[in-house]
Chains A and B, each alone.
Chain A
Amino acid sequence: MNNESKERQTKEEPLTRGWLYSLRKVIKHKQGLVGGILVLIIVIMAIFAPYIAPRNPYERNVPRMLEAPSGEHWFGTDMQGRDLFSQVIYGSRITLVAGLASVLISMVLGVIIGIIAGFHGGRLDLFISAVIDFLLSFPTLILALIVVSILGPGLNNAVLAVGFQGIPIFARFIRGEVMVQKEVGYVEGSFALGASKFRLVFRHILPNIIPSITVMATLELPRVILMLAGLGFIGLGAQPPVLEWGRLMVSARDYFFLAPWLINFPGVAIMISVFGFNLLGNALRDVFDPSLQ
């Protein structure tokens, strides 16, 4: 009886393999569950910010400036009497959107460059690989700073800069993946049957590396969020009045001794989102792509 049910299970397993199956595996992965919940909290905060935030985050109330956290102002108020809790809630939007946009830039360009290099091979690959290796010989923050110093400070430019520094990281990784997939039997078979390069890349290779791309992007996101916050903090990223967490902290620096909560709540917010994405990324990697470990 027991044996029979086991057999049935293994037989049925392939049928249930889909995104639901993967989701279940991520949830069973303890880290993945914790990470997923944290990420979900941040996403809900971002989507429903106007409903969650008790006040308008831009509304000034100077007589009530620098108030300590209380029942009325959960996270206290800033130097102009604005409600910090509402500011932090709205800040999740900037962090998520800016982080995703940066990763998207590095991902799309990195994937295109990686596929071209890995698929085409030959001299073109040699050239692209050399450029990638060269770019990776800079510390990542320096690459971003070079772009920021050319474009000037600001959130949009910071997103471009952080997106740029990630391109070589994605490109190198995708190139390797494509080179592996290229040698797999069914791709060679399809090529032998006369499939076009376009078809090979989009119908066969790309769908097979999408899990790795997803894992990579999730693992990149926390790094990118930290870098964007760091740029905001040194005054080269988001500028007032954009409610970016790193920027909120730099504005509060002068009042730090009077009102440490102005620093600590945005700091905790950054840490929770980075921590959540780190855990989720690790879990996704274990589920989808154990070889990446």
Chain B
Amino acid sequence: MTQYILKKLIVLPVLLFFISMVVFSIQVLVPGDPIEIMFFGEEPSPELVARIRAEMGLDRPVYSQFFSFLGGIFEGDLGTSYRSRQPVTVEIAARFPRTLQLAIVSIGISGVLGISMGVTAAYKKDSFFDLFSMGFALIGLSMPIFWLGMLLIDIFGVRLGWFPVFGSGTWRHLVMPAMTLGFINAAVVARISRSTMLEELRKDYIRTARAKGLIERVVLLGHALKNAFIPIITVMGLRFGNLLGSAFITETVFAWHGIGELGVMAIQARDFPVVQGVVLTVATGYVLINTGVDIIYGFLNPKIRFR
């Protein structure tokens, strides 16, 4: 087990190193001069341009720029936003908790909704509920997330007036974006829960449990769901990372001031230090979560450790 965890932990810094390389390459591959983007529409004096160039290290070779970029990451320095002229780390630190909050609440919604729907559908296979909930899930998978968000805004924000339509701050602001992300992901969780539960319910130990005279609730939740939990948790862990990705769209719909919205605005404004910071944060978060899921998986499923 220790070996398994160690292996995962050794790969981690290597992955993070290559991620930072990809993120760095954004600034190298972007066509055009960063100074021009910074002073869009202005005419800076040549001395100023030369000074900024030296400050940003643009006069040095690429590999040297990369190492100072990498060094910056360790010192918590991701450069300065072209637009707000604020340190990128400050902007991200201010917004990251909101994205995390949104992601955690919506993964909770999708877990409760998806697992209960999937388990019930599997238990009552081919019933009306099964058909209905799986149709619902397929529609959820086919729905553009921004449209669902706007429908919720229309119904609960405008017509019923229950929740504020845009912005972030209170829990009331959180309800609609979290429901949007939660519903879409519940569709995936429901499908996975149903198929793994179906597989478990077919196995011999379930028949034994029933033959012993255990009540159905114990058979279903104590036996079958307990074993089906591993694949469900894995999928949910992976979805958590993708939530960070789809947050870019959801946050834009609800003007939820998280790092997704920041990233979209930065790409539109060609504010590359911020783009790099956001991509680095999200990708790092995703890799950390995946590693965490792998390790939990190792604990839950001993077979995996010895591969």
Residues of A within 8 A of B (CB): 134, 137-142, 145-146, 148-150, 152-153, 222, 226, 229-230, 233-236, 246, 249, 253, 256-257, 260, 263-264, 267, 270-271, 274-275, 278-279
Q: Which of B138, B264, B283, B290 contacts A234 (CB 8 A)?
A: B264
Decide: A249 near B146, CB < 8 A? Known: A142-B279, A150-B26. Answer: yes
26 contacts between A and B (CB under 8 A): A138-B283, A139-B242, A139-B244, A145-B263, A149-B272, A150-B29, A153-B268, A230-B144, A230-B146, A230-B249, A233-B144, A233-B253, A234-B252, A234-B264, A235-B268, A236-B268, A246-B146, A253-B150, A263-B150, A263-B154, A267-B143, A270-B144, A271-B144, A278-B138, A278-B141, A278-B142
Q: Check: B275 CB closer than 8 A to any chain A CB.
A: yes
**Which B positions have Cβ atoms within 8 angstroms of A?**
15, 18-19, 22-23, 26, 29-30, 138-139, 141-147, 150-151, 153-154, 158, 241-242, 244-246, 248-249, 252-253, 263-264, 267-268, 270, 272, 275, 279, 282-283, 286-287, 290
B145 cross-chain contacts in A, Cβ below 8 A: 226, 230
> Contact at B30–A150, with CB atoms within 8 Å?
yes
> What residues of chain A lie closer than 8 Å to B248, measured between beta carbons?
141, 145, 234
Please name all residues of chain B whose beta carbon is closer than 8 Å to the beta carbon of A145 when the two chains form the complex: 248, 263, 267, 279
Task: Determine the chain B residues whose CB is within 8 A of the CB of A270 once the complex forms.
Answer: 144, 147
- Least CB separation from A141: chain B residue: B245
The answer on a CB contact under 8 Å between B245 and A142 is yes
Given contacts A137-B290, A230-B249, A249-B147, contact A274 B142 (CB under 8 A): yes
CA separation between A260 and B159, bound complex, in Å?
Answer: 12
Q: B interface, by DSSP: helix, strand, loop or mixed?
A: helix
Which chain A positions have C-beta within 8 A of B267? 145, 148-149, 153, 236
| B18 and A271 contacting across the interface, CB-CB below 8 Å | no
Contact of A275 among B22, B142, B270 (CB under 8 A): B142
Checking A137, A138, A149, A257 against B275 with a beta-carbon cut-off of 8 angstroms, the contacting residue is A149
CB of B147 within 8 A of CB of A271, answer yes
Give chain B residues whose Cβ lies under 8 Å from the Cβ of A274.
141-144
Q: Closest chain B residue to A277 by CB distance?
A: B142
In the complex, chain A residues whose CB is within 8 Å of the CB of B275: 149
CB of A151 to closest CB in B, whole Å: 8
CA of A148 to CA of B18 in the docked complex: distance in angstroms?
Answer: 20
Closest beta carbon of chain B to A258's beta carbon, Å: 11
Bound Cα distance from A59 to B180, whole angstroms: 35
A139 and B141 form a contact (CB under 8 A)? no
| Chain B residues closer than 8 Å to A267, beta-carbon distance | 143-144, 147, 150-151
| 19 additional contacts (CB under 8 A) given A233-B144, A264-B151 | A137-B283, A137-B290, A138-B283, A139-B241, A142-B245, A142-B286, A145-B279, A146-B279, A148-B267, A149-B267, A226-B144, A230-B145, A253-B150, A263-B150, A267-B143, A271-B143, A271-B144, A275-B142, A278-B142
Q: Assess the A139–B147 pair: CB atoms within 8 A.
A: no
